[in-house]
Chain A
Amino acid sequence: GDSVTQMEGPVTLSEEAFLTINCTYTATGYPSLFWYVQYPGEGLQLLLKATKADDKGSNKGFEATYRKETTSFHLEKGSVQVSDSAVYFCALDLAGKSTFGDGTTLTVKP
């Protein structure tokens, strides 16, 4: 079946550091790809999305590019802030069914 594999956490960075959270997927078709963010005590919020190969999703300084050849959708941010501390989930949607990765906890220290 479809699956999403995320870089294991937790990830701890200093403020203004560069962030990469790796995500790869396995799917039987051509899925849409997403990153969701979950702040402490809250539900998931869509961070960014890409619906086809080579699309780049971006939001709040975060970016991810849909790489069909490597089946990847890595999340990047050039300069993280303390307020970016959260759990990040990579997900795919295929034929209306969503599959989520296990989540990566990011802690940013001042």
Chain B
Amino acid sequence: SAVISQKPSRDICQRGTSLTIQCQVDSQVTMMFWYRQQPGQSLTLIATANQGSEATYESGFVIDKFPISRPNLTFSTLTVSNMSPEDSSIYLCSVEEGGLFHFFGSGTRLTVV
């Protein structure tokens, strides 16, 4: 089973600034996923990141707001740009196991003030 390390675990940021979240996996994976979990709500997929190509964004999410990097098969970053209080959420990265279920990082709890 994959082990996923996500940093930072939490942060409090000023509105208008940007935060980059890192996700490190202990094995090589083809696809990595970034989710947002707003307070008291379920998970919403932001984008899928494949190594060597641009990320694929879900409806309602754009690259200018959530740029993603995927420089190799074990690492990805998600940046939350020009933050507002509405961006306060838990951001989770995940990878697929056996092309089926997901392993998740412990998440980044972001508060924008």
Hey, what's the 0/1 contact readout for A81-110 against B, CB within 8 Å counting as 1? Answer: 000000001000100111011110000000
| A100-B43, A102-B41 as given contacts; A42 in contact with B107, CB under 8 Å | yes
Whether B92 pairs with A43 at a CB distance below 8 angstroms is yes
**Chain A contact residue count (CB 8 A cutoff):** 20
- How many B residues have CB within 8 A of the partner chain? 19
Nearest A residue to B105 by beta-carbon distance? A43
> Nearest chain-A residue to B6 (Cβ)?
A43
Across the interface, name the chain B residue whose C-beta is closest to A34: B101
A44 sits at the interface (CB 8 A) = yes
- Stretch in contact with the other chain, from A12-20, A21-29, A45-53, A62-70: A45-53
Give Cα A45 to B94, complex, Å: 11
Query: Contact: A98 with B102, CB < 8 Å?
Result: yes
Q: Is the interface of B mostly helix, strand, loop or mixed?
A: strand
Q: Is A32 part of the contact surface with B, judged by Cβ < 8 Å?
A: yes
Q: Which residues of A contact B103 (CB under 8 A)?
A: 46
B69 close to chain A: CB less than 8 A: no
> How far does the alpha carbon of A34 sit from the alpha carbon of B4 in the complex, in Å?
20
- Cross-chain contact A43 with B104 (CB below 8 angstroms): yes
Which of A32, A34, A45, A100 touches B42 (beta carbons < 8 Å)? Answer: A100
Q: How far is the CB of A86 from chain B (nearest CB, A)?
A: 14
> With A43-B105, A43-B107 in contact, do A101 and B42 touch (Cβ < 8 Å)?
yes
By a beta-carbon cutoff of 8 Å, the part of chain A in contact with chain B is 32, 34, 36, 41-46, 49, 51, 89, 93, 96-98, 100-103
Write the residues of chain B forming the contact surface with A, with a CB cutoff of 8 angstroms. Answer: 4, 6, 41-43, 45, 92, 94, 96, 99-107, 109
8 A–B pairs (Cβ distance < 8 Å), ordered by A: A41-B109, A43-B92, A43-B107, A44-B92, A89-B42, A89-B43, A93-B101, A96-B99
Q: A44-B94, A49-B100 are known contacts; what are 16 more A-B pairs with Cβ within 8 Å?
A: A32-B100, A41-B109, A43-B104, A43-B106, A44-B102, A44-B104, A46-B101, A46-B102, A49-B101, A89-B42, A93-B100, A98-B45, A101-B42, A102-B41, A103-B41, A103-B42
